[in-house]
Amino acid sequence: MTNNTERKSLLVYSMEGGAWLGAYLIVRFFCGVAGIYIPLLNSVAMLLFIGTPFVVYRIMLQYHKRNGYVSGFSLLWMMGIMLFFFASLISCIPEYVFYQYISPDYIANAIAQSLKLIEELGVIENTATLDEMRQMLQGEAVPTSMQMVMSSMWSNVFFGSLLSIVVAPFVLRKKNKENIKS
């Protein structure tokens, strides 16, 4: 009997996995933002942040298994990059809505709170970074919603690429362990 099930392409599987990862990033974002009001959600956001490599590992492993363990390191790395790209496209929409319509002062408030905390701790004094933060708040040169979203998107893709470099060998190692057992 032949196996007539079609394999999904890397692009299609990356889009589907990116949708799941995007939903995960949305939950992580809202837990982090709501952590200002409910401190327990900061811990949840941190746990979700720490759990991101495991989510990526599971998505990559499912693709790897469904394609008969034919994918190599570079293919899994490319999949990770595309996963984070598609996830960022999805997760940036609610971020933009939040920054633009729900809480337009969130970015300025976050910068002001960071500056206040740094000054209270006295760890860093009279540096260019602190001066720039003060000037941003005084001159109202706070990043726009779109700038924050684009920054989030590209940092997700960049760090997702680095994370994929780390996760891909573990997915490939899983294949080798299963081949040894057979």
Block residue for tokens 């000054």? 119
Whether 21 is in a domain gets the answer yes
Whether 29 is in a domain gets the answer yes
Whether 1 is in a domain gets the answer no
- Domain count for the chain: 1
In order of 61, 100, 157, the CA distances from 142 in angstroms are 41, 13, 23
Give the tens place of pLDDT for each residue, 101-132.
999 999 888 888 888 888 888 777 777 777 88
Stated length of the chain: 182
- Residue among 130, 115, 160 nearest 18 (CA): 160
pTM of the model: 0.84
Whether 140 is in a domain gets the answer yes
Range of the domain at 71: 10-172
Residue 112 and residue 105: Cα distance in Å, rounded? 11
Quick one: tokens of 27? 């939950």
Give the tens place of pLDDT for each residue, 54-109.
999 999 999 888 877 666 889 999 999 999 999 999 999 999 999 999 999 998 88
Q: Say whether pLDDT at 178 is over 70.
A: no
